[in-house]
Amino acid sequence: MRIIAGTLKSRIIKPVPGKQTRPTSDKVKEAIFHKLGPFFEGGFALDLFAGSGSLGIEAISRGMDHVVFVENAHQAVRIIRDNTQKLNLESQSEVIKTDAFRALSIFSKQHKQFDLILLDPPYEKISYEKVLDTIQVNDLLSSNGLIYVEASGNHSVTYESTYYQRIYEKKYSNTTSVMILKKHAYQ
């Protein structure tokens, strides 16, 4: 796995071994970051269900100031820490080993908001709608914040259209579809 663009372009990161995680392909990563930015002028990001941390590290490489990586699997947490250490990103990152919903609850109590939330959970094992509702109810997305959602190609993700505005959606294959949501300006 490699970083596609930015200050860390072409640097290699370790994937999580085994089949518990499914890394986002370089083709999809390049396309979605082109739609998201392609480069950021600072900001705070949340890489929920982080896996190897590939998406969050790409966000830092493209200009995000800080990324919080949330992952529940012990081996994946170790890989994220290895990857951020190898790339000297410790001061720009925080790794939290916990369940995604517990993390969202903690962030709510801390009154945190994120400019970018990367949502790439294990396909078919989590309720996207519940995650998106939790983000909304706890006001975790900044006023111009974006959410990247990756799902299986045959899964239709629903969301609260009075809160979120879909700005991009594409099916890349039978296995992958992506969506970018933005918080409505009047929220």
- The answer to whether residue 5 is domain-embedded is no
Specify the pLDDT at position 172: 82
Higher pLDDT, 144 or 71: 71
- 11 lies in some domain: no
Q: Could you tell me the CATH number of the domain that includes residue 37? A: 3.40.50.150
Task: For residue 74, tell me if it sits in a domain.
Answer: yes
Instruction: Report if residue 13 sits inside a domain.
Output: no
Identify which of 67, 43, 51, 60 has the alpha carbon closest to the alpha carbon of residue 16. Answer: 51
Instruction: Tell me, yes or no, whether 89 lies in a domain.
Output: yes
The whole-number pLDDT of residue 20 equals 61
What element of type H or E holds 28?
helix 26-36
Q: Give 152's pLDDT tier (boundaries 50, 70, 90).
A: confident
Structure confidence at residue 19 as a pLDDT band (50, 70, 90): low
As for how many domains the chain has, the answer is 1
Residue 2 lies in a domain: no
Domain that holds residue 104: 27-183
Model pLDDT, residue 186: 67
Q: What is the pLDDT of residues 89-99, one digit of tens each?
A: 999 999 999 99
Q: Is residue 80 part of a domain?
A: yes
What's the pLDDT band for 81 if we cut at 50, 70, 90? Answer: very high
Cα–Cα dist 112/46, whole Å? 10
Report the C-alpha gap between 83 and 78 in whole angstroms: 9
Using CA atoms, how far apart are residues 185 and 167, in angstroms rounded to an integer? Answer: 13
Determine, yes or no, domain membership for 102. Answer: yes
